[in-house]
Amino acid sequence: MDIFVPVRSTAPDGGAERSVMEVTERLSRRGHAVHLVYRNDGAFLNQYQGFCASVSRIAYPGGARLEPFSAAAAAVMASVRARSLRSGISYLNALTDLPVAMIRSAPAVLHLREPPPRRYLRIWASLLRRVAGCIAVSQTVADSFVNRFPMLEGRVVVVHSGVDPDHYRPATEHERSAARSALGFESEEVVLLYAGRLSPDKGIPVLLRAVEQTQPARLRLVVAGGPDSFRPKLASHRYASWLRSVAPPGTAFVGARSDNVSLFHAADMVVLPSTWDEPFSRVVLEAMACGVPVLASRKGGTPEAYEGLEHYLFDDVPQLTRLIDQLLTMGDERRRDLGARMRGHVAERFPLERAVDRIEQVLATTASQH
């Protein structure tokens, strides 16, 4: 099967970008021909070039202030570029890719990885009618789209994101020691990690306030991530600078990583303090798969990853503070036991291959019906 995939960027800007790369790589391994068209270069480009049947770059000017219009225009240009690919199916991963469904004669499946839009609803509705089907990363996302666009009723399949438990695995003693040494931490320190964009909707101030209220001398906070590339550059850099100025003393800001495995290996716990409705947090799955206890805000689709583990969700700063204190008082051995339980939970319910199975099934079924 030929699969046409337009993407905004080949950079690891967030969990969605990594998921698209991993899913398309697995589809390629299964014998499908993936044809990628992208706008911006990034760290994933070499990987895409290694497994895609074709890779093309669409140069189109535009920044955060021009989105979604510049992205939509790039999607149109991508469609024109790909007209030679008559057969197969379009696998879209952003609303701004929808013009592809309008221009290409091949059927299109849209993977819903973000909450529904709040503006230009008539335009989006018109474009959504062009897709043959939708996949949603969580039931929460599926329900929110159907509520806003009723014509999607019965056309959305929920496929929770997955991770590869062989790549995201617990650290050996040597790997843990090396990862902590690379960050300059002592073996007896308890490392609390945040990994994600430095963006207001990620709720990092919630975490900072909770850490300030715990204040054990041996707790070290690590913030891994860079300025939000989806916001205006000046505003995102100002926000990142402000976070550094208000963070508790000793907080380590280590920048964005293309792969967070070594950070998870150094961590004793991970916190996702988002204040927006996360579609379905990939960081939660990655950290759990690495055997690290994860605390997360009860927002959006995140609770769907915590069935049977609801105790580790929180609604506010006091609840997060209590959970951090509980993990601190557990001690190393009980934290490792909890981490092992969470890893088993992810390995059983959210393996990457299962997610790819269902995505492949949707794409193949859609292609055969059109």
Amino acid at 45: L
What is the spatial distance between Cα 162 and Cα 169, in angstroms, rounded to a whole number?
14
Q: Which is higher by pLDDT, 81 or 12?
A: 12
What is the spatial distance between Cα 5 and Cα 364, in angstroms, rounded to a whole number?
15
Which domains, and CATH codes, for the chain? 2-162+352-368 (3.40.50.2000), 173-349 (3.40.50.2000)
Bridge partner list, 219:
190
CB 38 within 8 A of CB 77: no
Amino acid at 185: F
Phi-psi region of 307 (alpha: psi -120 to 50; beta: other; left: phi over 0): beta
Q: What is the mean pLDDT of residues 275-294?
A: 97
Model pTM score: 0.91
Cα 333–Cα 339–Cα 345 angle in degrees, nearest 5: 145
pLDDT score, position 105:
75
Convert 274-303 to b/e letters by CB count within 10 Å (16 or more is b).
beebbbbbbbbbbbbbbbbbbbbbebbbbb
CB 35 within 8 A of CB 121: no
Which DSSP symbol is given to 267? -
Please say if the pLDDT value at position 65 is more than 50. Answer: no
pLDDT score, position 76:
58
The two structure tokens encoding residue 59: 């140069």
